[in-house]
Structures are given as C-alpha cells and as structure tokens.
Chain A
Amino acid sequence: MTGIVEYLTIFALAAFVGIEVVSKVPSVLHTPLMSGSNAIHGIVLVGALLVMGESRGPLEIGLGFVAVLLATANVVGGFVVTDRMLEMFQSKTPSRRVAPPSTERGTSNADAKATGASNGAMRDDTK
C-alpha cells in the first residue's frame, strides 16, 4: 500500500504544476495550447506498448493493437498539427514591428498587399 501513496503524491504535485504552468496563457494561444496538451497525453502510447507486450490470446492482443494504433495517431498527429499551427504564428513575427500610426503606412502597406495577394493566389492553387 506504500506504493500507491507515493504515486498519489506525484499526482497531487503534478496537478499543481499543471495549474501553475498554464494559469496566465493569453487567449491568442488557447488553440495551440489545447492542441499541444492534446499531443502530450498521446504519451499513453508508452502504456499501450507495455500492455501490448504482455498480452496473451487474440482478444488482449487485438485490443492492445488498437490501443497502440490509436495512441500513435494521437501523439504523432497531435504534435504535427500543433507545429503547423504555430508555424503560421511565427512566420510573420520577424517581418513585423509595432504598427506605424499613419504616415508611413502607405509604403509598408503596399508591400504587405503584394505579399498578401501572392499568398492568396498560392492558396487558391492548392485548394
């Protein structure tokens, strides 16, 4: 029974860490955070591999197989999709500074418009 208490201690402390870590996240990042934490729980793959290894008989092995498959989809897909999302966030950070109030706006906007338009055209091709 001592084992379980140790695990419960770890559980309680991890809960506080989880709460502390995300308590100040800006709403801009709610989607990537949700998607990223979604990928992290895909680590259940480790558990799926362990039960799959010790499985005996077709029923256990069959269910274990499905568990490994689903967990892999969760962990791999989760990280890939989150990275794709964040890539878009990052691509524009270096090129942009604080928005200029009024006068300089004309030139900088012409540039932005050009890239925006070509970007749009590319998108249309892919669809």
Chain B
Amino acid sequence: MIAVSFPLTTWRDLVYLVAIVGFVVALKGLSSPRGARRGNLVGAASAAVAVAMTFSDSTVYHSATNVTLALIAMAIGAALAVPAARLVKMTAMPQMVAAFNGVGGGAAALVSVVEWLHWHSTGTHPATYQIAEVLLGVIIGSVSFSGSTIAFAKLQEIMATRPITYPAQQAINAAAGIALLALTLAAIVTGTVGYVYAILALAFGLGVALVLPIGGADVPVLISLLNSFTGLAVAASGFTLRNNLLIVAGTLVGASGIILTRLMSQAMGRSLTNILFSAFGAVVTANTSLEGAGGRSVRSSTPVDVGVLLAYSSKVVIVPGYGLAVAQAQHVVKELADSLASRGVKVAYAIHPVAGRMPGHMNVLLAEADVSYDDLEEMDEANAEMATTDVALVVGANDTVNPAAVDSPGSPIYGMPIIHTDRAAHIVFLKRSMRPGFAGIDNELLFNDKTVMLFGDAKETLQKLVAAIADL
C-alpha cells in the first residue's frame, strides 16, 4: 500500500540498491572457486537491471536525439566488445583486461569532463567540493586510460616490454605531478573552463610516464592497480552525479583492487612503491647481461635423451611460464604429464604466483587443458619438494626461476621469490632461443651444470618428447 505511493526516483534508487547488493555478492562469489561463475552472472544481471532502470530517468530520455545517440553508442560498444571478448585467445587475456580497463577509465574521465562542460553551458556555479570531485574523476580516469593503453601495448608487444627509462625520469614525473596539482588548485579556485583540458592532457601524459618504466613481471601488478584506479574514477563520477550505485560499485572495485595489488606484490616479495618507482635501471640490466653474454656455452640435448631421462624418473615437476602460453602448449604438456603418469612417474606443476603475464595466468591455461587442481602446487609447496625431485622441466618460464633473484643483489628482480629448480637433480629448459625473459635479464640457471637445454618451439618440443616416451 505504502509502496505504491513511492515516486519513481525512489523505485530507481531501490533498484540501484539491489544492484549494489548484487555487486557485493558477485565479488564475494569471484573470491571462491565454487561460486565464481555464478558470482559473475549475478554481477552481469545486476549491471543489466541497473542500466535498464536508468532509462526511466527523465534526464536520460527527455531529448529524443540524445537518447537515440546513446542507444547507438551502446549498440556500437557492445558490437565491438562482444566479439573481442569471445574470440580473444586465452593467452591474450591480460591484454584484453588491460583494454577493457582502459576504456572504463576513459569513460569515467569523459563523464566528469562532460559534467564540467555542462556546468559552463548552463551557467551553473558548482560548490568548490563539486569542482574537486569532477577534477578527481578526470585525473584518475585519464591516468587509468593512458596507463592501461601503454600496458596493453607492452603486453601485446606492440612496444618494447623492457622498462623504458630516460634521464631524470623521476624528476620529470615529479615536476609533472606538481604541475598537475597546481593546475587542479587553480581550477578549483578560479573555476575557469579551459583548465580542464590542460588537466586532462597532463594527467594523460602522467599515466604514460608512470607506466613506461614498469616492465618485466611487474606489469600484471600494474594492471591490477590501474583496475583499482578506474574503480576510484567511477566512484568520483558517482560523487559528481550524486549516484550511490556508482559510488559503491567504484569504491568496491577500488578497494578490492588495492588489496589484490598488495597480495600480488607480496607474492613477489616487493613493496608496491618499489614496483612502481624502482624503475628497473638500465645500468643494472647492462651489468647482469655482461656476465651472461661472456661467450659461455650451454648444454643442448635431444628430445630422445630427455624422454629417457623423464620416463625413468620417479618425480617430475613441470614449471610453466609465459612461453607455454605463447606456444599454446597447454594441451601437449598435459599429454606429456599423462604419459609420464601412466608409467608411474609422479608429475606435478609448480605454479609461480606471477608466472605468465598476470597472476593466475597459468592456472587459467592449465584449466583449459583440463589439468586437475590437485596436480597444481603453489610456489612454497613446490620448493619444499624440489630437493626430492628428479627432473624440473621448465616450459617457457624464465624470470620466475632465475637464481639472480636470490644471489645477485644488483639484479632488478632481486628479492622476488622464485621456484628453486636448481635444487632438483636435473633441470630441463625448453626455450625458443637464448633470448632473456620479460624482465630483460640473463638467467644464470641456463649455465648450471645440472641444466640441459631443448631449443625450439615449446609445443613442437613437447610433442617430440611425448613421441619419444611412447617409443620407449
């Protein structure tokens, strides 16, 4: 009875509240293996209901032109995103997440910019704190947009994956940061329309500058952080538009993103500040590469010999890395593991928390190949058993097994926990070439006495290994 007399805005707010609860349930679900998929569907349904309800707002539909254009924009956006999301290869998942994150940040920044322009075209005089909210949305959104774009380019290998450094980088970034702060204050005090463009441009540049010096295994952490930024930018637009849904959804993502980023940097044994600002120096890289390039030779072997070695081991640990993803070798690796297991060899996979280009990347790939969870060992577990392992088979991993992280304090990856394959009796390295890993540094492990190399495409090499074992 009472409910019937609610005005439409109240109903809309109630629907938004339901969507908010839906998002919390979605995030909660995504945090456990069992409820993950259902959680995601709850999230999608909440978003759909909230968007549909938004069309009941007269602000949205009062201009026929605008609402038509909005529907066209939605159609184009969906038409672009759905095929991209459907067709993307599992190996390219990190880039895809970076791309979707970037467009979200861009959208949040634009929402704030349009609101700012709208104040001026309608002659509204916003309160100081409203100006601050809008500018916050513009700044965080643009940083997230440009940062994600660079991260995408790095992951897609459109540009060099190595950290890009230039003289006085930190000083230039600091100066840009101070300039941005000054402009923001000026904009808040004067409220002049033009400032927003300068702020937009400067924040955009700062996003690029922030991401350029980050490379190596740090990119996944960066994406998580940028994801969190986009969330906060969305929350800022929520403040501007006085919309609880945007505030809560944005803040949920912002806060959970920061926690996730922290979990990841802990997994790498480094602080977030170190990851963001240590700027993997060109000097250090030069030093370590001198050691490796000193004309030392590695031992190369044949699939037949390695096949024998594997088949007569009692325990083999497979250490996958990004190379596995590139070669699309997850199914063959499973085939090899099965053929070894049928001969009574105990096989396990040692998963480094940041193996691949994003955390959990290897788990996703191996899940695709139907590898059982029980065969996956996390880093600590794998390291504890490494001393009793006969063969550590490194498939396309590099930095995550590099002993430089333990014994070379000058190395850019020093301090990162690694999988201690050097404790196993034998190490077999499947590698395309002697090219260094994503971090761009040489791996001392390749020159270890216990190491043999199998050069070539990981998938082909693994197929040869499977064939060699079948022939025994």
Q: How far is the CA of A33 from the CA of B135 in the complex (A)?
A: 29
Q: How many whole Å from A127's CB to the nearest CB in chain B? A: 7
B241 close to A49 (CB less than 8 A): no
Q: How far is the CA of A22 from the CA of B31 in the complex (A)?
A: 6
What count of chain B residues pass the 8 Å CB interface test? 130
A90-127 interface mask toward B, CB cutoff 8 Å, 1 = contact, 0 = none?
A: 11110010110010011001101101110110010001
Q: How far is the CA of A61 from the CA of B110 in the complex (A)?
A: 11
In the complex, B76 has a CB within 8 A of chain A: yes
Please report which residues of chain B, range 380-437, place their CB below 8 angstroms from some CB of chain A when the two chains form the complex.
Answer: none
Q: How far is the CA of A47 from the CA of B59 in the complex (A)?
A: 11
Q: How far is the CA of A39 from the CA of B23 in the complex (A)?
A: 10
**Known contacts A45-B107, A74-B103, A127-B328; A30/B360 CB under 8 A:** yes
What count of chain A residues pass the 8 Å CB interface test? 100
Q: How many whole Å from B343's CB to the nearest CB in chain A? A: 9
Contacts of A69 in B (CB 8 A): 73-74, 76-77
A113 close to B339 (CB less than 8 A): yes
By DSSP majority rule, is chain A's interface helix, strand, loop, or mixed?
helix
B65-77 interface mask toward A, CB cutoff 8 Å, 1 = contact, 0 = none?
A: 1110110111011
Q: How many whole Å from B255's CB to the nearest CB in chain A? A: 3
**Known contacts A41-B250, A61-B66, A82-B40; A49/B54 CB under 8 A:** yes
Q: How many whole Å from A8's CB to the nearest CB in chain B? A: 8
A4 close to B129 (CB less than 8 A): yes
In the complex, B251 has a CB within 8 A of chain A: yes
Contacts of B257 in A (CB 8 A): 34, 37
Contacts of A86 in B (CB 8 A): 36-37, 40
**Known contacts A71-B107, A116-B338; A18/B367 CB under 8 A:** no
Q: How many whole Å from B113's CB to the nearest CB in chain A? A: 6
Most A CB within 10 A of own CB, among B19, B122, B263:
B263
Most B CB within 10 A of own CB, among A44, A52, A60, A61:
A44
Contacts of A96 in B (CB 8 A): 372-374
B358-369 interface mask toward A, CB cutoff 8 Å, 1 = contact, 0 = none?
A: 111101100111
A47 close to B332 (CB less than 8 A): no
A24 close to B249 (CB less than 8 A): no
**Known contacts A21-B28, A37-B252, A44-B250; A49/B55 CB under 8 A:** yes
Please report which residues of chain B, range 218-259, place their CB below 8 angstroms from some CB of chain A when the two chains form the complex.
Answer: 223-224, 227, 230-231, 233-235, 237-239, 241-259
B255 close to A19 (CB less than 8 A): yes
B69 close to A71 (CB less than 8 A): no
A77 close to B114 (CB less than 8 A): no
| Additional A-B contacts beyond A4-B129, A17-B255, A88-B368 (8; CB < 8 A) | A29-B36, A36-B26, A39-B47, A43-B47, A50-B59, A80-B81, A106-B342, A113-B335
Q: Which 10 A-B pairs have the closest CB atoms?
A: A72-B77, A18-B255, A77-B81, A31-B360, A67-B110, A30-B359, A14-B251, A74-B104, A71-B107, A120-B331
